[in-house]
Amino acid sequence: MVVYLKNIFNDAGNVTLFTARFFKEVLRPPYEIKEFIRQCYIIGYKSLPLVAITGFIMGLVLTLQSRPTLVEFGAESWLPGMVALSLIREIAPVITALICAGKISSGIGAELGSMKVTEQIDAMEVSGINPYKYLVVTRILATTLMIPLLVVFADGVGILGGYIGMNIHSDVTLFRYLSRILDSLEFLDIVPATIKTFFFGFFIGMTGCYKGYTAANGTESVGKAATSAVVVASLTIFIIDMLAVQLTDLFF
Amino acid sequence: MIQEKTNNKNPGSADSSKPVISIKGLYKSFGKDNDVLKGIDLTVQKGENLVVLGKSGSGKSVAIKCLVGLVTADKGEIKVFDTDISTLDYSGLNAVRIRIGFLFQNAALYDSMSVRQNLEFPLKRHSKKLSSQEVDDKVTEALVNVGLEEAIDKMPSELSGGMRKRIGLARTLILKPEIILYDEPTTGLDTITSREISELILAIQKKNKTSSVIITHDMACAKLTGDRLVIVKDGVIDAEGSYDELEKSDDAWVRSFFV
Ligand SMILES: Nc1ncnc2c1ncn2[C@@H]1O[C@H](COP(=O)(O)OP(=O)(O)OP(=O)(O)O)[C@@H](O)[C@H]1O
Ligand SMILES: [Mg+2]
C-alpha cells in the first residue's frame, strides 16, 4: 500500500516535470518547424477519414434517435438545432478526442517507446540534438493544434449527417436546415466547447509522449507504453470534459 | 548556436600532455543490489586507441554511457577535454557531446528516416553553413568509407544487422568527432568486413588524430586497433597493458581472453 502510494506520487512528480519541460522548451529556439509540419500532417490529415466516418454516423444516429421524442411533443422543428447543439457542445469534441486518443496517443506512445528501447533517443542525445524538443515538443504542439481542427471538421460532417437523417423521414432543404441551426446556436455554445478541445489535444499528445519517452528498456514496454497511453488519455479526456462543463456552468 | 562555436575551435583539448578523457573512481549501480561499476579509473591520451575488454554484462557499455552523460554516475569524476561533465548544464554538455562520436552497440539508426536522412540529421543541425551540395558530398563520402554507398536510399528496416552497424559507424564519423566511443564495432560482422572496419578505425585515428575507446570482444580488432588494452572485471579495471603484454600475462584469467 505504501509502495503503491509512493509510486503514484512519484509518477505525478515525473509527469509534472515532463510537462514543465514542455513549457520551458517550446519557446526556446531553435524551432523544429519541419518536424512540426510533418507531425501536423500525420496527426491531422491522416486522421480525417476516421473522424469523418464517426462524425457522420454521430450526426445521423443522433437525428434518428431524437426524432420520435420530439415528434411526440410536436417539436420536430427543434430537431436540427438540438442535434447541432449536442454535437458541437459535447458529442463531437468528446468522441473525436476519444478516437484520437486511441489512434494518436497509442501511435505516439509506441513510436517513442520503440525509439527509447532501441536507443534512438539516446543517439539523438549524444549527437547534441535535444530529443525532447525534436520529438516531444513538435508532437504535443501538433496534437494541440490538430485536435480542435478535427473536432470542427467532425462538427461539420456530423451536421451533414444530421441533414441526411432528417431527410429520411421528412423533406427539408439544406438551406432551411442550416438556417434553423444558425438560429438556435449562440456564441457561448461554441467558445467553451472549442477551448476544451485544445486541452484535449494537449493531453492526447502529452500522454502519448510521456508514456513513450519514459518507457523502460525491453520490447514488452513498447506495448505497455501504447496501451497505457490510450487508457490514461481517455480518462483524462473525461475528467477535462467534466471540469469544462462545471466551469462553463459557473461563468456563463 | 553553441554548436557552431565549439565546432570551430576546441579550447583545452589541443594540449597533448593532458589526457582527453580521465575517469576517477566511477561508481554506478542500478537498483539496490546491482552494483555494475565499482571504482573505474581510466585515462585516454590524445590520439590514443584504448581497447576495453571484459565479459558480457561487466558494465562496459554503462561506463562509456557515463562518459557522455547518458547515464548519470553515482560517484566519481569524469573529465572530458579537461572539463568535469557533471558541472555542465544541458547546453554545455551538448557542446561537449558534439565533439564526441558514439557508435551504439545496436547501431540505433533512426527507423523513420532513410539512410541518407540518418546521416544528414546531425550534419544539418550542427553545420548550418553547408550547402546542400556539400551535405550530399559528405554523406556520400561517409558511405563510401564504410562501403555502403548503394544503400543510400534504403530504410534501416531493409538493411541487415551488419549493414546497420556500418551505417551507424558512418553516422558517427560524419561530424568528424575528436573522440570516438565504439561499442562493439565489429560484432555481428563477417571476418572480412570486421577487418575492414578495424582498418577503418585505424585509418581514422591516423588521419584525424582522434582518440578512441573501443569496446570489443573481437581479439583481431583489439590487436589491430588497440594502442593499449584494459580488462574490466567485477566493476573495476583488472588489467592494463599492450596486446602483447596482456597476452603473456601471469594471470590465467587475463590470458583466457587471448585464446
Ligand atoms: N538502464 C539500465 N537499467 C538497469 N540496469 C542496467 C541498465 N543498463 C545496464 N544495466 C545493467 O548493467 C550491467 C552491465 O550492462 P552493460 O550493457 O554495460 O554490459 P556490457 O559490458 O556492455 O556487456 P556486453 O558485452 O554484453 O555488451 C548489466 O547487468 C545490466 O543489467
Ligand atoms: Mg555492451
Q: Give the model confidence (pLDDT) of B82-122 as tens digits.
A: 889 888 888 899 899 999 999 998 889 999 999 999 999 98
- Enumerate the residues of chain B whose CB falls inside 8 A of the CB of residue A126: 68, 70, 97, 100, 102
Residues A139-187 have pLDDT tens digits of 999 999 999 999 999 999 999 999 998 888 888 888 888 888 888 888 7
Within its chain, how far is the Cα of B250 from the centroid?
30
B52 lies in some domain: yes
Q: Which of B3, B95, B108 shows the shortest C-beta gap to A123?
A: B108
**Separation of alpha carbons B170 and B193, rounded Å:** 14
Q: Are strands B211-215 and B49-54 parallel, antiparallel or unpaired?
A: parallel
Which amino acid type is present at position A145?
L
- Would you say B135 and B163 are in contact if contact means Cβ atoms under 8 Å apart? no
Could you tell me if residue B235 is inside a domain? yes
Residue B124 lies in a domain: no
Q: In whole numbers, what is the pLDDT of chain B averaged over residues?
A: 86
The residue behind cell 475528467 is A239
Q: Which CATH number characterizes residue B75's domain? A: 3.40.50.300
Which residue lies with its CA nearest to atom 30 of ligand 1?
B57
| Contact across the interface for B95 and A115, Cβ inside 8 Å | no
Q: Are residues A126 and B126, on separate chains, in Cβ contact within 8 Å?
A: no
Q: What's the burial of A227, exposed, middle or buried (CB within 10 Å: 0-12/13-18/19+)?
A: middle
The C-alpha atoms of residue B208 and residue B174 are separated, in whole angstroms, by 12
Distance CA A101, CA A204 (A): 6
Q: Is residue B37 in a domain?
A: yes
How far apart are the C-alpha atoms of B86 and B76, rounded to whole Å? 10
Residue A42: which of A121, A129, A141 has the closest Cα?
A: A141
Residue B236 lies in a domain: yes
Report the percentage of chain B scoring pLDDT > 90.
38
How many Å apart are CA A75 and CA A184, to the nearest integer? 14
Specify the pLDDT at position B15: 45
Give the ligand 1 atom nearest the CA of B60.
21
Quote the domain boundaries for residue B25.
20-99+217-259
Q: Is residue B91 part of a domain?
A: yes
A170 alpha-carbon distance from chain centroid = 34
Please count the structural domains in chain B: 1
Q: In the structure, what pLDDT confidence band is assigned to residue B10 with cuts at 50, 70 and 90?
A: very low
**Among B171, B121, B175, which Cα is nearest to B148's?**
B171
DSSP state of B258: G
- B residues 125..184 contacting A (CB < 8 A): 125-126, 175
Is residue B253 within 6 Å of ligand 1 at its C-beta?
no
Which among B70, B95, B111 has CB closest to A125? B70
Residue B179 belongs to a domain: no
List Cβ neighbours of A202 (8 Å cut-off, separation of 6 or more): A140, A143, A144
B143 part of a folded domain: no
pTM for the predicted model, two decimal places: 0.88
In this structure, how many other beta carbons lie within 10 angstroms of the beta carbon of residue A173?
A: 10
Do the Cβ atoms of B52 and B121 come closer than 8 Å? no
Q: Left (φ > 0), alpha (ψ -120 to 50) or beta: where does B163 sit?
A: alpha
